A = this chain, B = another copy of it.
Amino acid sequence: MQEFLIDSALDMHLHLRDGDMLKLVGPLTSKTFSAALVMPNLVPPVTTKEALLAYKERILEACKEDEFDPKMTLFFKNDYSYEFLKDVKDEIIAIKLYPAGITTNSETGVASMDVEVLRPTLESMSKLGIPLCIHGETNGFVMDREKEFMPIYESIASSFPDLKVIMEHITTKDAVEMLDKYDNLYATVTLHHLLITLDDVAGGMLNPHLFCKPIAKRPEDRSALLKAALSGHSKLMFGSDSAPHPKHKKECCGCAAGVFTSPIALQVLVELFEKNKKLENLNSFVSLNAQKIYNYKPKEKKIKLIKKEFIVPAEYSYENEKVVPMFAGESLAWSIEG
- A9 proximal to B (CB < 8 A): no
Of B215, B219, B252, which is within 8 A of A251 by CB? Answer: B252
Is there contact, CB below 8 Å, between B141 and A143?
no
Looking at the assembled complex, report how far the CB atom of A131 sits from the nearest CB atom of chain B, in whole angstroms. 29
Binding-face segment, A50-58, A107-115, A167-175, A201-209:
A201-209
Given A142-B199, A199-B141, the answer on whether A206 and B205 have CB atoms closer than 8 Å is no
Of B197, B253, B256, which is within 8 A of A208 by CB? Answer: B253
Name the CB-closest residue of B to A142.
Answer: B203
Per DSSP, are chain A's interface residues mostly helix, strand or loop, or mixed?
loop
- A49 proximal to B (CB < 8 A): no
Size range of the chain A interface in the assembly = 20 to 34
* Count of identical protomers in the assembly: 2
In the docked arrangement, what's the CA distance between A111 and B218, Å? 25
| A interface with B by C-beta (< 8 Å) | 141-143, 197-199, 201-203, 205-209, 211, 215, 218-219, 250-257
Kindly list chain B residues whose C-beta atoms are within 8 Å of the C-beta of A199: 141-142
For the complex of A and B, 3 pairs with smallest distance between CB atoms = A142-B203, A205-B254, A206-B255
Interface centre among A197, A199, A202, A257 (most CB of B within 10 A): A202
Kindly list chain B residues whose C-beta atoms are within 8 Å of the C-beta of A255: 205-206, 208
Of B198, B207, B252, B256, which is within 8 A of A143 by CB? Answer: B198
Of B141, B203, B206, which is within 8 A of A218 by CB? Answer: B141
